[in-house]
Chain A
Amino acid sequence: MFLFALLSGLTLGGVYALVAMGLTIQYSVSRTMNLGYGEFLIAAAFSVFVMFGAFGISPYILAILVVPVAFGVSWLIYRVMLMPIVRRARSPLALEIDSLLLTFGLLFAIMGVLLLIFGSNYTNYYYLSVPVRILDATVALNRLVSFGAAVIVGAIGYWLLMRTRTGMVLRAVSVDPVGARLVGIDVNWAAGLAYGLGGAIAALGGVLISTYMTFTAEMGVVFTMKALIVVIMAGVGHVLGALIAGMALGLIEAFVSAYLDPGLTIAVIYAVFLLALIIRPQGIFGRVAR
């Protein structure tokens, strides 16, 4: 049981870490909190489900199509929906409130579209659900492949962010948007890029998770919430922290559901979140409170 929980925790945590990395990039660069983030994940899961059913193409190959589309849609959402709010905002606080409210509306709009098309039923499909034996435990192959994909993409993403010029631009804006503007960085361009990247990463997470998890149109909220908790616990904008905390969240969830009760995972995660807020509100890896 321990090994099983460990394996399913690691595979789940890999995807959580990836998804949280997307949100932390999005939030720290654009300074707008996206409550509709998880909807991208669920929407991607549904589109893969439909296309896999229709054409029988591997979900991992479909990701090559879904992820760029998600990037484009997410980028457009920033340019069309959020830019007017950013321009209008008189203070960072006003922007924060407006963007929260706006993306809260977005959440219901996207969820509404999904509900309209797919209803509120639980959905799943079978792909690579071949048991693989690792030591004493069996794990489905799709979980392992998804985990591998998450680790590879996460590592590449982290490397790009730390080593490339564009990555440095994004990090500069996340640390100090005013200063970044002074050295000639187009902050709105960077924020749009970050939004697109976040949407793309969320969509990839959705594709990976859909291969082994049952999902519904109303589940986006839960993923948004988990990603938010990871981002806050790690410290906003701390990418490596988000990766570690995301992994930890997956493990906690797996162990709680194995040893305690599968129905208590969110409650336990929330208890951890509450504790983190009380002890270290600036985040476990964060240096100063924002």
Chain B
Amino acid sequence: MISRSPLPYIGILAIAGMVALLPFIVSSFQLAFAIGLLNFAVLATAWGLFSGPTRYISLASVVFFGIGSYTVAVVGEVMPWPAVLALAALIGGGVALVVGLATLRLAGIYFVIFTFGLSEMVRQLVTWYEVNVTLSVGRYVFLDISQTQIFWQLLALLTVVMIGAVALQRSRLGFALRVIGGDETMARHFGLNPTFAKLALFVGSSMIMALAGAIMAPRWTYIDPAIAFNITLSFQVVIMGLLGGMHRIYGPLLGAILMTFLFEALSDRFPQAFSLLLGVVFILIVYLLPNGIVGRVEELIARTRRKPDNTSAGLIGERS
């Protein structure tokens, strides 16, 4: 529960350090794939950070991702890059705060339904603004940021998110989330404010997604609301989180890696049937891996371990 061991941090940094060398050895095509993978890894991890402990399934990842991208499209050329990123995170966090304040005090179902339509609404609002105020639907993003730089930025973001996730798990807030997830009513009677804890996490998770969207924006050169707020992305992120297992920090990361390869294979071979296959894969995961791959592996480990334990447990039972 309370651990100060630096090992996980060192591990994360070491892996990140090795991955950082990738741009020097891979082709530009492979690098583009790696960027897509890193992006999903960040989004799925951020998603799991909130939806895992709270069990509030967010279907609105693309809203915050899109907000990040749009921030870059609007102010990318007039502000220094770090300020652009900061602004993207702030706007994403602000929107999450409003959404969270309205829905997180209610039962999870209201939150899910609200996030379900949120991307549609934001897309419509941005389209309306662009059509009526700027008088053109699309925008061009011309920034002097190379693929390699995007890769490193995403990797840095993922590293920070992973380290932050480990630190969170060891912190009082992380413990609070476990308690809230265990029994919200009881948690209230021991001084916890569940709504506040959920809100803090939702805002944090959304800021990360907005940052990912901002970092990815220069790849597109052209964006419009339909591209930036495409609900399929939210769906993909949920699949990844579920496949890996959202009750562990590294679950969504694992899911993101596996699914990115699967998406690549599917969209290459069956570009027409992409949605259908996504839907089918998703349904299969819900049936077969309700706790994700990580959950299944843990079950198997627990089962093999329990067998030799059975006898001793029986003895204790007899004695008492």
A and B touch in the complex (CB under 8 A): yes
Footprint of B on A, CB under 8 Å? 33, 35, 81, 84-85, 88, 93, 96-98, 100-102, 104-113, 115-116, 221-222, 224-225, 228-229, 232, 261, 263-267, 270, 273-274, 277-278, 281, 289-290
In the bound complex, CA of A106 to CA of B235 (Å): 12
Partner among B109, B132, B274 whose Cβ is within 8 Å of the Cβ of A261: B132
In the bound complex, CA of A93 to CA of B112 (Å): 13
Q: Are B102's CB and A35's CB within 8 A?
A: no
Q: Are A109's CB and B283's CB within 8 A?
A: yes
Could you jot down 26 A-B contacts, CB within 8 Å? A33-B109, A100-B109, A104-B282, A105-B282, A106-B279, A109-B282, A111-B275, A112-B276, A112-B277, A115-B276, A116-B272, A116-B273, A221-B117, A222-B120, A225-B120, A264-B125, A264-B128, A266-B120, A266-B124, A273-B114, A273-B117, A274-B114, A277-B103, A278-B102, A281-B106, A281-B110
A93 to chain B, nearest CB (A): 7
Is B190 an interface residue, CB under 8 A from the partner?
A: no
Tally inter-chain residue pairs, CB-CB below 8 A: 126
Is B74 an interface residue, CB under 8 A from the partner?
A: no
Q: Are A100's CB and B57's CB within 8 A?
A: yes
B166 to chain A, nearest CB (A): 26
Is B286 an interface residue, CB under 8 A from the partner?
A: yes
Q: Which residues of A contact B231 (CB under 8 A)?
A: 221
In the bound complex, CA of A76 to CA of B118 (Å): 30
Q: Are B57's CB and A101's CB within 8 A?
A: yes
In the bound complex, CA of A274 to CA of B103 (Å): 9
Q: Are A109's CB and B124's CB within 8 A?
A: no
In the bound complex, CA of A224 to CA of B112 (Å): 13
Q: Are A84's CB and B287's CB within 8 A?
A: yes
Q: Which residues of A contact B55 (CB under 8 A)?
A: 93, 97
Please give me the residue from chain B that is nearest to A112 by CB atom.
B276
- CB interface residues, B 93-122, toward A, < 8 Å: 102-103, 106-110, 112-114, 116-118, 120-121
Q: Which residues of B contact A221 (CB under 8 A)?
A: 116-117, 120, 231
Please give me the residue from chain A that is nearest to B101 by CB atom.
A278
Partner among B107, B116, B131 whose Cβ is within 8 Å of the Cβ of A290: B107
Q: Which residues of A contact B102 (CB under 8 A)?
A: 274, 277-278
Against A, the Cβ 8 Å flags (1 = close, 0 = not) of B265-302 are 00000001111111111110111001000000000000
Please give me the residue from chain A that is nearest to B103 by CB atom.
A277
In the bound complex, CA of A149 to CA of B279 (Å): 34
Is B127 an interface residue, CB under 8 A from the partner?
A: yes
Q: Are B277's CB and A105's CB within 8 A?
A: no
Given contacts A96-B108, A98-B286, A274-B102, contact A112 B120 (CB under 8 A): no
Q: Are B125's CB and A267's CB within 8 A?
A: yes
Is B242 an interface residue, CB under 8 A from the partner?
A: yes
Q: Are B128's CB and A267's CB within 8 A?
A: yes
In the bound complex, CA of A274 to CA of B279 (Å): 29
Is B180 an interface residue, CB under 8 A from the partner?
A: no
Is B238 an interface residue, CB under 8 A from the partner?
A: yes
Q: Are A104's CB and B238's CB within 8 A?
A: yes
B113 to chain A, nearest CB (A): 5
Is B59 an interface residue, CB under 8 A from the partner?
A: yes
Given contacts A101-B238, A104-B235, A261-B128, contact A113 B117 (CB under 8 A): no
B46 to chain A, nearest CB (A): 18
Q: Are A266's CB and B279's CB within 8 A?
A: no
Partner among B121, B131, B283, B285 whose Cβ is within 8 Å of the Cβ of A81: B283
In the bound complex, CA of A102 to CA of B286 (Å): 6
Given contacts A96-B109, A98-B290, contact A108 B275 (CB under 8 A): yes
In the bound complex, CA of A265 to CA of B282 (Å): 31
Partner among A101, A273, A289 whose Cβ is within 8 Å of the Cβ of B107: A289
Q: Are B128's CB and A101's CB within 8 A?
A: no
Q: Are A107's CB and B109's CB within 8 A?
A: no
B275 to chain A, nearest CB (A): 3
Q: Which residues of A contact B107 (CB under 8 A)?
A: 289-290
Q: Which residues of B contact A264 (CB under 8 A)?
A: 124-125, 128
